[in-house]
Amino acid sequence: MIVAVDGPTASGKGTIARAIARHFGLPHLDTGLLYRAVGHQTRLNGGDPDSEADALAACDFPLALLDEPELRSELTGGLASRVSVHPAVRQELLDRQRTFAHQPGGAVLDGRDIGTVIVPEADAKLFVTADAAVRARRRFGEMQERDYPAELKEVEADIAARDERDRNRAQAPLRAADDAIVLDTSSLDRDDAIAEAIRLVERRITPRR
């Protein structure tokens, strides 16, 4: 069984995808982490994340980099959004994601183009979203918990910039697949969002079992 979970920044898709994976006993891949690794490696290389050549060179990052805590930082998140607009980078990472999805038993993947590009044949597709202001407050709260210096207005501007890049990039723009179930988490807390996501996946896959 393959489950695709897509959505914009800070919508809760990662938390939901990990919970779905635990519930069904499936491996999980945060595909955004791959792009964060490329963005971070580009910076380590002294390259420009807006340069397709520099970003492509950084795709050859060491696997150990995926365990680097710095990948979760806001700075790296912004770099990931910038390198992800390059078609050559997306193509380079495509095979890794598809191989993970099609391992025996299946998997859960979350990102921005899982249900539309990576595995359009997924058994269940969720598009997790929330109001931009709600997403900014959530991200701001997470940053405060980690004692990461930030202003709410800056977080709101960053969310808006990422949304703009993700929705308007030439290749694999952020959008819900035609057969995806849209889950708006704006008014849901973490536990309710997870419960609803699992219910929706179970409802989608039941006829196929």
- Quick one: pLDDT at residue 124? 97
| All structural domains of the chain | 2-200 (3.40.50.300)
- Quick one: pLDDT at residue 143? 84
CA distance 153 to 162: 14
CA distance 111 to 35: 10
- Quick one: pLDDT at residue 169? 81
**pLDDT tens-digit profile, the chain (209 residues):** 999 999 998 899 999 999 999 999 999 999 989 999 999 999 999 999 999 999 999 999 998 999 899 998 888 988 998 998 899 998 999 988 999 999 999 999 999 999 999 999 999 999 999 999 999 999 899 888 877 788 899 999 989 998 998 888 877 889 999 999 999 999 999 999 999 999 999 999 886 55
Q: Is 52 exposed, middle or buried (0-12, 13-18, 19+ CB in 10 A)?
A: middle
- Quick one: pLDDT at residue 207? 62
- Quick one: pLDDT at residue 13? 95
- Quick one: pLDDT at residue 74? 80
Query: In the numeric block, which tokens belong to residue 41?
Result: 């490696």
Rg (CA), the chain: 16
